[in-house]
Amino acid sequence: MRTVVITGVSRGLGAALAAQLRARGDRVVGVGRSAADLTADLADPAQVPTAADLAPLLEDADEVALVHNAAVVEPIGPVGTLGADALANAVAVNLTAPMVLTDAFLAAVPAEASRVTVVFVSSGAAHRVVEHWAAYSATKRAGEFFLEVLAAEAARRDPRVTVASVNPGVMDTGMQAEVRSSEFPARERYQRLHEAGELPDPAEVAARIVAEHLTGG
């Protein structure tokens, strides 16, 4: 049996991933403020599940996986107007929580597990300049690099571990609604996609991520 830990399962891509993985027969452990098996506000590092929290949930799994899906796009605005609290929240949710949770997850992996997978849901904004998205872009890029370091370490120390940063692309989620209601130079592009019905359903994106990174052994 495989156990998959997913952050942000209450809606959007996270909910779609959880539903599809459960349908495959995986045991899904949701982490977040709502609709979660482990309740935590990921903006508070002290609430991120520890290895002691995760170990009992992973102990009988043949394979384990961790999917970092939870994220916030705000604050949106030019640097100089973002504010300390909003910036700290973005860093906490998008970067600190994935780092802390990955560390705890790997410490909790049972020795008997044959495969260990860590997936970070990133963004195309991690690799191109989107004005007014400095916080989101920077935290996503930093998260990708954290996983690159993990991949290098795992190649030497634990070949069971596979890591991937995935760009899901735009899709019809609550985050996209936030984007369309915000003021920034590229806003019209996202509005046009929505008006043209060109935003994929999160279930389509989830199916691609599952097929490419979470198919199991």
Q: Which pLDDT does position 34 carry in this prediction?
A: 80
71/168 Cα distance (integer angstroms): 13
Mean of the pLDDT values across residues 58-77?
Answer: 95
| pLDDT band of 171, cuts 50, 70, 90 | low
User: Which pLDDT value is given to residue 78?
Assistant: 95
Domains of the chain: residue spans and CATH: 2-170+202-213 (3.40.50.720)
User: Across the chain, where does the E strand assignment appear?
Assistant: 2-7, 27-32, 38-39, 63-68, 115-121, 161-166
Q: Band the pLDDT of 111: cuts 50, 70, 90.
A: very high
**Which residues neighbour 75 within 8 Å (Cβ) at sequence distance 6 or greater?**
82, 83, 86, 87, 90, 135
Average pLDDT over every residue of 169-176: 66
| Confidence check: pLDDT of 45 > 90 | yes
- pLDDT score recorded for residue 198: 61
Q: Lowest-confidence range among 2-6, 191-195, 197-201?
A: 191-195
Which residues partner with 165 through β-bridges? 120
Position 169 scores a pLDDT of 80
In the predicted model, what is the mean pLDDT of the chain?
91
Reported confidence tier of residue 177, pLDDT bands at 50, 70, 90? low
Give the number of C-alpha atoms closer than 13 A to the C-alpha of residue 167, restricted to the C-beta side: 10
Least confident of 26-30, 47-51, 135-139, 184-188: 184-188
**Those residues with Cβ within 8 angstroms of residue 170's Cβ, 6 or more apart along the chain or in another chain:** 176, 190, 193, 199, 200
pTM of full prediction above 0.85: yes
Q: What is the pLDDT of residues 118-164, one digit of tens each?
A: 999 999 989 999 999 999 999 999 999 999 999 999 999 999 999 99
The answer to whether the bond into 168 is cis (omega within 30° of 0) is no
